[in-house]
Chain A
Amino acid sequence: DAGVIQSPRHEVTEMGQEVTLRCKPISGHDYLFWYRQTMMRGLELLIYFNNNVPIDDSGMPEDRFSAKMPNASFSTLKIQPSEPRDSAVYFCASSNYGTGVLAFFGQGTRLTVV
């Protein structure tokens, strides 16, 4: 298996633009997590899904952020409109409860909003 695949690896965008981050989880995993990593706040859980259903979105910072999981093999995190304070590395992770909740992480998307 290729692991969790995120795209793009790097994204630079102007303030006010819409940004869409993509994630393909490991096949067979039924949990998907979106995390944000910054120097100031460390790793923050934004939202997670179980069997494509959002379970906890309490970490989503504002209404500008939205996440979807239309099927078991794809998820998106969208920011509209983007702001400079959204600059961070965004990680997607997937896991299978049957393996003891071992989350496997993608390599992340480094987002820079100028």
Chain B
Amino acid sequence: DARVTQTPRHKVTEMGQEVTMRCQPILGHNTVFWYRQTMMQGLELLAYFRNRAPLDDSGMPKDRFSAEMPDATLATLKIQPSEPRDSAVYFCASGSGTSGGAHEQYFGPGTRLTVT
């Protein structure tokens, strides 16, 4: 049963600390997305990659957030330094598709981040 995996599932950290979240996309999927979910804003796209190349990170606060895809089986989202307003659930999703879009996106279980 192919699925997207994310680690850690929960993270509590103090303001100013670095946070790294990891995602393993479904094998064979070439597009990886990072979304953030909060009660106030709902689900928001932060960044995404196709064939490991970053295509759009306009939804991400660039001064503190960075997203990378070191290889086809690993995507990372890093926050440095973290702030209380970063508290949210971060989802990774993967899909397969060409430049026309990876329409069917499959979400991981998420990382619940709490910054105190």
Q: Do A and B originate from a single complex?
A: no
* Chain A interfacial positions (CB closer than 8 Å to B): none
* Chain B interfacial positions (CB closer than 8 Å to A): none
